[in-house]
Amino acid sequence: MHETSAAPAVVHGPPTTFLSKHVFSLDHKVIGLQYYTLALFAVVVGMVLSWLMRIHLGWTNAAIPGLQALSPNGAPGGVMTPEYYLQLMTMHATIMVFFVLTTAPFAAFGNYFLPIQVGAEDMPFPHFNMMSFWTTFTAFLILVTAFFVPDGPPLAGWTSYAPLSAIGKDAGPGQGTGQVIWAAALGVFCIGQLLGSLNFISTVLDMRTKGMTLSRLPVTCWAWFITSCMGLTAFAVLMPATILLILDHVAGTSFFVPSGLVLNDQLVPHSGGSTLLWQHLFWFFGHPEVYIAIIPGMGIVTHVLITNMRRPMLSMKAILYSMWALAFLSYMVYGHHMFVSGMNPFSSLVFSFPTLMITIPSTVVVLIWIGSLYGSKLRINTASLFALGFISMFVSGGVSGFFLAQPSIDIMLHATYFVVGHFHMVMGVAAMFGIFSGTYFWFPKMTGHMMNETIGRIHFWLTFIGTYCIFMPFHYLGWAGNVRRYAAFTDDFLKPLIPVHQFITIAALFTGAVQLLFLYNLIHSRFRGPAAPANPWEGTSLEWIMPSPPPWNNFGGKDPVVYHDADQYGVKTASGADYIMQNSPEQALATSEGD
Amino acid sequence: MGKLLAVTIIIIAIASAVPFILHTWEPPADISTHGGLIDEQMSDTMIEAGVSFLAAQILLGIFIWQFSKKPSDTGKVKTFPGGAKGLVIAAIVLVGVEVLALGAFGSKAWAAVYFTPPAPDAMPVQVQAGQFAFYFRYPGPDGKFGPIHPEMINEGNQNLFGLDPANDVESRDDIVTAEMAIPVNKEVHLLMHAKDVSHSFYVPALRIHQDFVPGLDLSVHFTATKVGQYEIVCSQLCGLGHYNMRAYLKVLSQQDFDDWLKKQQAAQ
Amino acid sequence: MATTLPPPKIEILPVPDRSGNGHVGGGQNLIPDVANLRVAQQYSPPASSSAIWVGIAAICMSFAAFTSALIVRQASNDWRHITLPSVLFLSTLLLLASSVTLEVARRRVASYMLGADSNIASPRLWLYLTLGLGLLFVAGQYMAWLQLRSQGLYLATNPNSSFFYVFTALHALHVLGGLAGLLRAIRKLGNATLRRSTLNATAIYWHFMGVLWIYLFLLLWLKI
């Protein structure tokens, strides 16, 4: 028997019109799905951009069918110009980092499941929540318009270093209007994030149901809470940076542009700004941002694993403390992007110390995951396959950090494909695996249908092998000194590496095509998949007590009462089940743990 | 399928490590005096990183192999020997010591490049990076560089450094070149100037990598130990020509260098 | 009162215990057991009290970022001090006064809501006073910009003026947000839907605008 408290009124009423149900919804679940759809659309765009980039790198003079129609200036005769390569690269990175990696694991899954997992009907500020999605969507629209202005999108990379990004269109195609649009889109994105973080933090602090103490929160809630604290502080620094950058463009200020610069034989009319100031502001945001991209994934993987291992983690406390340590340290390490930037070389050593230290909490988490596998009853399904794949990818991506954290080695590896391999493995693959794992795990709950397990497994296998084939070779290229952000490889020492690039391109196109399986599975299962029970994975947390899909007010107007944490797996119960749900007053007879 | 995953993970891990073990792709051979420490650091880190990488992936694979559930398995769940405590201590102590050691020894290599001042008799050369070429300037017999007047920079009439020899005495004997030549085994003090946006000076063989920062005049110093021709490439995104921005570094015997400098001077 | 009145028929819905520690309402409730209430319809859940502090934390981070930009920029060699427009001293006092009037307003609202005072005009007046002082503050900022412009100091003239305009404009923008919040509180007071938590959050935000302004004022005075 599961207890509930007296029926309260709800945060908002049920939706009545089509618009309030599906478009301007106050329901956190709908908002979560809207974020997911946005991320899905964005990842397709970002992936197509990466294919274009990879084809050009492997076969620089090839005419790509259809590209001229997309951009007559950027690809006359279908052959990509170097500037268009950089423009596609800038947009690829910006779309992926912001609209996929910050959106899906955090905003999409977090919006959907955080209120449910704490036992609330919704977040405390549903109007802000709705605004946060539509603001993010608007930011995406603004960003995409950069493709359609005459000079095209900016080419300065997602890092957009000044002065290249600040002095205007003479610095290169897209550096005028395109760059301003880019900065504006990011500024608007920051507002959306702040509204979202506000809701997430308030939900965890103020909306937990009876019995849901902080120590009983599922690990995913902690991951989203930590991420929103980081988002609050990091995006609140990016916004000022974009404001100052826009002012340098449109108002003639000189925040980032020093005097004495000469472009096209003309003196640039700015003076006294600081080039490095942009880097400091950007990376103070930028480094926490990459942890914002990965920590929700770590939470999801932990959550999926304990359900599928049928036992709790060896120490959930160790994982939680490590996540907090990662979040905290992430603010202190940002200078490792600037080792050879011209900042004081002593500062480089200072920054390298916490960067090396951050290995420790990462290792703790990985060892706890692996150690918890020992003696477990690991169930293999697509969700757990992606979770296990995450561990492998996170190790691969993390280990290259050992090199990059040291300034002396960074002398050789800075701005090479070694860095590109590093961040793609942790962000482009591991974080994506976290999103996939969460999708396969929670799709039944969100839609009421099961996904096709066979197609899911094929998707996993081909993606797992494919992404290793794409991104491992990046490290070899970097080790040999292959500089990044090159539109073509004309240098003597780079020409012999072109066959490696061609291999990578083929792997990338293949792996990209495999994702069609995932898309098909999503869409087909949404409408034709077999009906999903309330608790297909025998999970303990509160999302499994509600029907699949949940009603508009989550718990049907009755607040659940919580008696346990979410780790009651591998226990002996009177009913014979090996788990106890959080809202069940039943106590374990014994744990199943032995030696 | 768990066993298949385990095997795949282990195979991929070993396959990934093979090119590093076999040194299939390597940085070019070191031609600098300070690079030995860097190379040592890189190979020490490779060993430690490689061992950690392989150990983690193989352990992951073994546990997935052993513990993916068989339908007949109804036994108890077992705990890793030592539980979380052992693992956390291992992480903190082993990894902590490892990274601290790497950091401590690595700082020596860093210090060799950045915390030692150039020798008083190091040969000064100035490099200016601008979209999309490197240009070099030698001070000439007076040993002094004339001032740069940015408003006078004019690629059209080849006044690449904005020099004003009419009014600045030191500029008159400055030698401006499109390639950089240096004598072997002689320390060079490279003064770096950015003309328009950020660039970077990267010569892998020389183990030198330093960004140009507009508004900041930085410098590095080094000694090349092997005669030959090497590429200086730009590694900080500077615009559409970034991929093509390159100059040649020629390390020559002292005699050949003197001849080269005389020829460049005559061509000014 | 001469006659005994029956208890008022006001719809009060039960508030679920969300704190996990047995307190109903968590102190946010404005429904004590007193007859003669003019109480807003309370509906659950009790409002989130942490949100305004979360917002304030974000705003602090942003101004910290701008401050660090100022400090870095100040190190360059084209920095020449500008004199703060004199109107800022007055507008500072106005903003501080508005915090005082807001506190008076809060107490008046509370006593009105509890039925101790039947006069809605008094709390409303003090809220409008706060609003008015806030508007005067923004006007004062505009006059400060005019004073700078009369000295030939525009946004891009020199780095000091750039930062002056950026800091004051952004602060004024946030103050406008606070004014909107005050207007909302006044409107809700009028139709009896004002919750104490709403007024609290509005007040905390407004006081923060004052604290932030004092910080900015000193920063501009000493650094610019």
How far is it, in rounded angstroms, from Cα B234 to Cα B203?
9
Whether residues C48 and A202 touch (CB distance < 8 A) is answered with: yes
Domain ranges of chain A: 20-257+270-591
pLDDT per residue over C84-113, tens digit each?
Answer: 899 999 999 999 999 999 999 999 988 887
Other CB atoms within 10 Å distance of the CB of residue B264:
17
pLDDT at C9 exceeding the cut of 50: no
Q: Do the chains contact at C69 and A236, CB–CB below 8 Å? A: no
* Alpha helices, DSSP H, located in C48-120: 51-74, 87-113
Q: In this structure, is residue B191 part of a structural domain?
A: yes
- A575: exposed, middle or buried (Cβ count in 10 Å: 0-12, 13-18, 19+): exposed
> Nearest chain A Cα to B215, which residue?
A258
The reply to whether residue C51 touches residue A232, judged by beta carbons under 8 angstroms, is no
- Which chain A residues are closer than 8 Å to B66 by Cβ? 374
C84-223 maps to which CATH number? 1.20.120.80
The confidence band for C19, taking pLDDT boundaries of 50, 70 and 90, is: very low
Q: Would the CB atoms of B235 and A484 count as touching at under 8 Å?
A: yes
Cis peptide before C45 (omega within 30 of 0): yes
On the question of pLDDT at B145 being above 80, the answer is: yes
Q: How far apart are CA A106 and CA A36, in angstroms?
A: 10
Together in a domain, B110 and B137: no
Residue-level pLDDT at A1: 34
Among candidates A8, A120, A258 on the partner chain, residue whose Cβ is nearest the Cβ of C15: A8
Q: Residue A452 in contact with residue A521, Cβ under 8 Å?
A: yes
List chain B residues with CB under 8 Å of A503. Answer: none
Identify the three-state secondary structure at position C129: helix
What is the per-residue pLDDT across B32-55, written as a single tens digit (0 to 9) for each?
Answer: 999 999 999 999 999 999 999 999
Is A378 in Cβ contact with B92 (below 8 Å)?
no
Collapse the DSSP code of B19 into the 3-class scheme (helix H, G, I; strand E, B; otherwise coil) and give the result. helix
Rounded to a whole number, what is the largest CA-CA distance in chain B? Answer: 94
Closest CA to B106 of A336, A344, A341, A410: A410
Tell me: do B45 and B168 sit in the same domain.
Answer: no
- What's the rounded mean pLDDT across residues B104-122? 91
B105 compared with A479, residue with greater pLDDT: A479
pLDDT tens digits along C143-196: 999 999 999 999 988 888 899 999 999 999 999 999 999 999 999 988 888 888
The separation between the first and the last C-alpha atoms of chain B, rounded to the nearest angstrom, is: 73
pLDDT at residue C32, as a whole number: 43
Burial readout A456-474 (b: 16 or more C-beta within 10 A, e: otherwise)? bbbbbbbbbbbbbbbbbbb
> pTM value?
0.92
Asked if C20's CB is within 8 angstroms of A201's CB, the reply is no
Amino acid at C224: I
Domain spans in chain C, listed from the N-terminal domain onward: 84-223
Is residue B110 assigned to a domain?
A: yes
Token digits of residue A81: 């110009």
Using CB atoms, pick whichever of A311, A368, A400 lies closest to residue B84: A368
Assess whether pLDDT exceeds 60 at residue C217.
yes
Residues B86 and B149 both lie in one domain: no
What does the pLDDT profile of chain A (595 residues) look like in tens digits? 333 333 333 567 777 788 878 889 899 999 999 999 999 999 999 999 999 999 999 999 999 988 998 888 889 999 999 999 999 999 999 999 999 999 999 999 999 999 999 999 999 999 999 999 999 999 999 999 999 999 999 999 999 999 999 999 999 999 999 999 999 999 999 999 999 999 999 999 989 999 999 999 999 999 999 999 999 999 999 999 999 999 999 999 999 999 999 998 999 998 888 999 999 999 999 999 999 999 999 999 999 999 999 999 999 999 999 999 999 999 999 999 999 999 999 999 999 999 999 999 999 999 999 999 999 999 999 999 999 999 999 999 999 999 999 999 999 999 999 999 999 999 989 999 999 999 999 999 999 999 999 999 999 999 999 999 999 999 999 999 999 999 999 999 999 999 999 999 999 999 999 999 999 999 999 999 999 999 999 999 999 999 989 998 888 888 899 999 999 998 988 888 899 999 999 888 876 554 4
User: Token pair 């110390």 is at which residue?
Assistant: A353
Whether the bond into A154 is cis, omega within 30 of 0? no
Query: What number of residues does chain A have?
Result: 595
The predicted pLDDT at position B219 comes to: 94
Going by C-alpha positions, the residue among C126, C50, C91, C45 that lies closest to residue C210 is: C91
Residues of C in contact with A10 (CB under 8 A): 44
Q: Determine, yes or no, domain membership for B75.
A: no
Residue A428 confidence (pLDDT) = 87
Residue B95 shares a structural domain with residue B186: no
Same domain, B136 and B42: no
B/e letters for A502-519, b = 16+ CB within 10 Å, e = fewer, are eebbebbbebbebbebbe
Enter the tokens of residue A528: 């034709």
Instruction: Name which of A254, A282, A561 to mutate to probe chain C: the one with the most chain C Cβ atoms within 10 A of its Cβ.
Output: A254
Both B19 and B144 in one domain: the answer is no
As a 3-state breakdown, chain B gives helix, strand, coil percent values, each rounded to 5, of: 40, 25, 35
Question: What number is the ipTM of this complex?
Answer: 0.95
The one-letter amino acid at C122? S
| Owning domain of residue B211 | 123-266
State residue C47's pLDDT score. 61
Indicate yes or no: CB of B215 within 8 angstroms of CB of A274.
yes
Q: What tokens does A518 get?
A: 């995932």
Tokens of A348: 């480089």
Q: Chain C residues with CB-CB distance to A under 8 A?
A: 13-18, 20, 43-51, 54-55, 57-62, 64-66, 68-69, 72-73, 75-79, 155-156, 159, 162, 166, 170
Write out the DSSP string of B224-237. B-S-EEEEEE--S-
* Count of beta carbons in the 10 Å neighbourhood of residue A37: 12
- Cβ distance of A375 and B67 shorter than 8 Å: yes
Dihedral, A155, A160, A164, A168 alpha carbons, nearest 10: 70
The CA distance from B134 to B248, in Å, is 9
CATH (one of 3.90.1170.40, 1.20.210.10, 2.30.29.30, 1.10.3720.10) for A20-257+270-591 = 1.20.210.10
Interchain proximity C45–A210, CB inside 8 Å: no
Chain A CB contacts of B238 under 8 Å are 164
Q: What is the pLDDT of residue C46?
A: 54
What's the count of helices (H) and strands (E) in chain C, helices before strands?
5, 0
Q: Kindly calculate the radius of gyration of chain C based on its CA atoms and give it in whole angstroms.
A: 22
Chains interfacing with C (3 or more CB pairs < 8 Å): A
Residue that wins the pLDDT comparison between A574 and B200: B200
Q: Which helix (DSSP H) or strand (DSSP E) does residue A42 occupy?
A: helix A28-58
**A477, B20 contact by CB (below 8 A):** no
For residue A138, the distance in angstroms to the closest alpha carbon of chain B comes to: 28
Q: H or E element: which one contains A572?
A: strand A571-572
B248 strand-pairing partners: B231
The minimal CB distance from C51 to the residues A125, A258, A274 is found for A125
Q: Is residue B77 one of the residues assigned to a domain?
A: no
Residue that terminates a domain, selected from B58, B93, B114: B114
Taking the C-alpha atoms of residue A573 and residue A13, their distance in angstroms, rounded to an integer, is 39
Residue C36 pLDDT exceeds 60? no
The whole-number average pLDDT for the span B2-23 is 96
Say if the Cβ atoms of A375 and B79 lie within 8 Å.
yes
Report whether pLDDT(C21) > 50: no
How far A2 CA lies from chain C's nearest CA (Å)? 17
Residue C114 has pLDDT above 80, yes or no: no
Sequence-ordered strand ranges (E) for chain B:
77-78, 123-130, 133-138, 175-177, 180-183, 187-194, 199-203, 208-212, 218-223, 228-233, 246-252
Q: A315 vs A368, A438, A567, C141, C181, CA distance in Å? A: 7, 22, 10, 56, 45
- Asked whether the CA dihedral B36, B37, B40, B42 is positive or negative, the reply is negative
- Indicate yes or no: CB of A314 within 8 angstroms of CB of B100: no
**H helix or E strand, kind and range, residue A226:** helix A219-250
Query: Does B130 lie in the same domain as B103?
Result: no
Rounded mean pLDDT, C201-215: 96
User: Which residue in chain A is spatially nearest to B73 when comparing CA positions?
Assistant: A377
Rounded-to-integer distance, Cα A385 and Cα A308, Å: 10
Residues B51 and B108 in one domain: yes
Residue B151 placed within a domain? yes
Chain mean position to CA C144: 22
Task: Please tell me if residue A259 touches chain C, with a CB cutoff of 8 Å.
Answer: yes
Chains with ≥3 Cβ pairs under 8 A against B?
A
Query: Do B26 and B110 fall into the same domain?
Result: yes
Interface with B, mutate which of A262, A268, A595 (most B CBs under 10 A): A262
